Structure 1
Amino acid sequence: MENTQPSFDTVIETLNWLRTQGFTHDFNLDYDTIKYNNGTGIMSPEDFHIEWVFRFEGETDPGDEEIIYGITSAAHNIKGVLLSAYGMYADPLSDRMIQKLSVH
């Protein structure tokens, strides 16, 4: 059975819902990896799967453009969220990380 994509009006609503689904860790992008646990845990693109993607477009402020990823990793036994700006505020990423995040 495939997950049905829920729809939310705000980033906060989305994050709260993901937390109820067990996505409790906060992930951070770092060029070619995703870090967690204050940088002590590191995942490469091969180590994780993107379960959910939510995109928010800034209607009045381009700085409000955000993508929220619900990410799981069987290799690290972890579920969490990654917030990523896009457009002019996007972080520099490696080609393989861009490819992994762009698949969705």
Structure 2
Amino acid sequence: MHHLPTLFETLAQLKKAGYTEDFNLNKNYLAGQRSAIQLSPEEFVVDQHFRFEGNSDPDDEAIVYAISALHFNLKGTLVNGYGPSSDAGAAELIRALQEKIT
């Protein structure tokens, strides 16, 4: 895990490194916004992750996943709340993401 100053700067640096797809969580897959590709957990790897914690507000907590899908020649990012603001509806996929970074 790396620490960069802000969420915005981290996303900008990842985009420069080729992580151009914006992923969204679905119940059991990642959905690409630009490519319309749907990735199941076995189709991607988490290359890096970045955690951001607010100084005093737990709602400011977020995690950024830098994700690669070699089969599709695709790299992108997923931003999700962390802690109390995480997406509970995609708990299975979040577990898969966490397993890939340990």
Bin of the TM-score, shorter chain as denominator length: 0.7 to 0.9
Cα pair distance change 1:75/1:88, threshold 3 Å: same
Moved over 2 A (4+): 37-40
Cα drift, residue 76 of structure 1: 1.7
Structure 1 gaps of 5+ residues are none
The percentage of counterpart residues that share the same residue type is 36
Q: Is the CA contact (8 Å cut-off) linking 2:26 and 2:90 kept in structure 1? A: yes
Paired residue type of 1:70: A
In structure 2, runs of 5+ residues without a counterpart are none
Cα deviations by residue, 1:12-58 (Å, 9 ceiling, x for unpaired): 11011101110011000111110013583210001101001000011
TM-score, length of structure 2 as denominator length: 0.86
Determine if the alignment matches structure 1 residue 13 to structure 2 residue 13. no
Most deviating of 30-39 and 20-29: 30-39
Please state if 1:93 is matched with 2:90.
Answer: yes
User: Which structure features the higher share of helix residues?
Assistant: 2
How many pairs align?
A: 99
| Partner SS for 1:93 | helix
TM normalised by structure 1 equals 0.85
Determine the C-alpha separation between the residues in 2 that align with 1:14 and 1:85: 15
Deviation at 1:98, TM superposition (A): 2.9
